[in-house]
Amino acid sequence: MKSSIKQRLGGFTLVELIITLVILGVLSITVAPKFLGSSTEDAYAYRDRTLSALRTMQLRAMQNTATSACHTLYISDDLIAPPAPDSCVGGGSTNNADFLVIQIDQQRSDVRFNTQDSNGLEFTNLSFDPLGRVNQSCSNECRIDFTLAAVCITGEGLIYACQ
């Protein structure tokens, strides 16, 4: 009697449904990054590194209030870095012993970045005052865009990931 009811109803058991859902979940986790591509991951990685560098430089500015201190990050086509050690002149350098250097490898990544201040103009450096505020025209917001991700900096010194 039971076998005839099972044959009439058909369908799947709960165990079969759970196994199917687990297999679909594993496939979606392993296949999804292939469709997103490495440029998406690179953009978010560069954004996160830039957030860290900006926040560290801001904290340094707030902790070291000497007037001769330099708390600036220089931004060029593929580099975000502080000036050379013990110098507040020139631009960032890949030879800088500082750990805040962010260099985009143009041969391995198709991520490009650009900057924009509150007036819609491009900027090449960000510096912070002893209160952690940006010494730029960031009255509303400055942005550093990394293809699919961005960093926003407000005039009051709030640094955050934005779209």
Give me 146's structure tokens.
């990394």
126 domain residue, yes or no: yes
* pLDDT at position 89 over 80: no
Q: What pLDDT digit, counting tens, does each position of 7-63 carry? A: 555 678 889 999 999 999 988 887 776 666 667 777 888 888 889 888 888 888 888
Q: Is 92 a domain residue?
A: yes
Task: Please tell me the predicted confidence (pLDDT) of residue 137.
Answer: 77
Instruction: Look at residue 62 and tell me if it is in a domain.
Output: yes
Q: Establish if 33 belongs to a structural domain.
A: no
Residue 146 exposed, middle or buried by CB count within 10 Å (0-12, 13-18, 19+): buried
Within a domain: 139: yes
C-alpha–C-alpha distance, residues 97 and 148, integer Å = 29
* CATH number for 129: 3.55.40.10
Spatial CB neighbours of 70, under 8 Å, sequence gap ≥ 6: 82, 83, 87, 88, 127
Cα–Cα dist 23/90, whole Å: 56
Q: Which two tokens stand for residue 114?
A: 């650009």
Question: Could you give the number of structural domains in the chain?
Answer: 1
Q: What pLDDT does residue 101 have?
A: 73
Return the pLDDT at 18. 93
pLDDT digits (tens, 9 = 90+) for 109-159: 677 778 888 888 888 888 888 888 887 778 788 888 888 888 998 888 899
Max Cα separation, the chain?
92
DSSP annotation of 134? B
At residue 80 the predicted structure's pLDDT band, cuts being 50, 70 and 90, is: confident
Residue 121 lies in a domain: yes
- Distance between CA atoms of 136 and 118, rounded to whole angstroms? 9
Q: How confident is the model at residue 21, as a pLDDT?
A: 94
Domain assignment present for residue 19? The answer is no
How many whole angstroms separate alpha carbon 81 and alpha carbon 91? 8
Q: How far apart are CA 93 and CA 103, in angstroms?
A: 10
* 100 belongs to a structural domain: yes
Distance CA 4, CA 18 (A): 25
- Regarding pTM above 0.95, the answer is no
Domain that holds residue 152: 38-162
Q: What does the pLDDT read at residue 121? A: 87
Structure tokens at 131: 């209160």
